[in-house]
Amino acid sequence: MAVVDVLRPGFVQLRVMDMAQSLTHYRDRIGLDVVATGADGRVYLKADDEFDHHSIVLRPADTAGMDVCAFKVLDDAALDRLTDRLHAHGVVTQAIPAGEQLGVGRRVRFTAPTGHVFDLYADIERAPAGPMTDNPHVWRHEPRGMAPIRFDHVLLYGDDIDGAADLFTQCLGFRRVEEVETPDGTVLATFLSCSTKSHDIAFVRHAEKGKFHHCSFLLEDWNAIGRAADLMTRYEIPIDIGPTRHGISRGRTIYFFDPSGNRNEVFAGSYDHYPDHPRRVWSADQVGRAIFYYEGELNDRFMGVVT
């Protein structure tokens, strides 16, 4: 992994309108473990193969969407370096004290030009039942639901994706891995990585600021994607599209919705990206194949439904 200061996506906090239904969805159907419930009603969850305290936070609310997406950084010194880079870039930051989320240390918060809120943090408690480390079995307890390996990435819709990409590359050390461009060079979608993954975050150009498209969970393989589809059908989980494959990232995928209308993805397979690799570019007339490789076209719901 080409680690500089930002390690990986850490957690995403989602707004949900019915916590009981949401827990059935994220715990029983997707298969996340509930770690804790805060006094304010927020519920903290993680996937079986994640060491940190949580990666998904569900907050009771009247509207769906994303409150914040956070990235874990190398250490406290890295957090300070990144804060200085943000300030030099003209970005206003806010200090979030340790303990605002259960188990998480101090965070530095900023708003991207697309209107999305992001946190950076270095310290988080280990999960009480994380992956085994001594003569480890492949899992600590029998997998449940779709058996996610980890929270993988988010895709966000907003207006100034050029500014967001500049901020993430110039201040946080991300790289532009794959993009969709019009003939005049306008970027319609950008996929950014801080690791060797095909993307750790992605932005799509959209008229409104601050819109949430989906959060993605990594599954083991194509067979796991098929089993997830079986579960969605069995429990009447609304499917957006899939099972299918992306051209961008080459990932196998299904998009579906939680009870509040937040879009989720389960995802498996992709390519590795290293800092010396060239940027991959799709022309706008091929965007259907870029997003849905088999179908070769986009569906209206995928493009239009955001929270």
SS3 79: helix
Which residues are CB-neighbours of 172 under 8 A, at least 6 positions away?
A: 5, 6, 71, 82, 85, 120, 194
Q: Of the candidates 148, 297, 161, 133, which has an alpha carbon nearest to the alpha carbon of residue 220?
A: 148
Cis amide bond preceding 243, omega within 30: yes
Q: Is 214 assigned a catalytic role?
A: yes
Q: Give the active site residue among 153, 206, 213, 273.
A: 153
**Residue 112 neighbours by CB under 8 Å, 6+ apart:** 118, 158, 163, 164, 167, 168
In whole angstroms, give the CA distance from residue 25 to residue 32.
9
Given the residues 25, 53, 206, 246, select the one marked as catalytic.
Answer: 246
> Annotated catalytic, 199?
yes
Burial of 227 (0-12, 13-18, 19+ CB in 10 A): middle
54 catalytic per annotation = no
- Of 249, 303, 225, the C-alpha closest to 30 is 225
Question: How would you classify residue 6: left for phi > 0, otherwise alpha for psi between -120 and 50, otherwise beta?
Answer: beta
> Catalytic one among 25, 214, 273, 293?
214
160 DSSP assignment: -
Q: Give 250-255 contacts, CB < 8 A, sequence gap 24+.
A: 250/198, 250/293, 251/198, 252/222, 252/225, 253/225, 254/225, 254/228, 254/229, 255/214, 255/302
Q: Which of 54, 199, 206, 213 is catalytic?
A: 199
State the catalytic residue, choosing from 44, 121, 157, 255: 255
Q: Indicate if 246 belongs to the active site.
A: yes
Catalytic residue list contains 44:
no
- 9 closest CA partner among 48, 45, 43, 52: 52
Active site (catalytic) residues: 153, 199, 214, 246, 255, 265
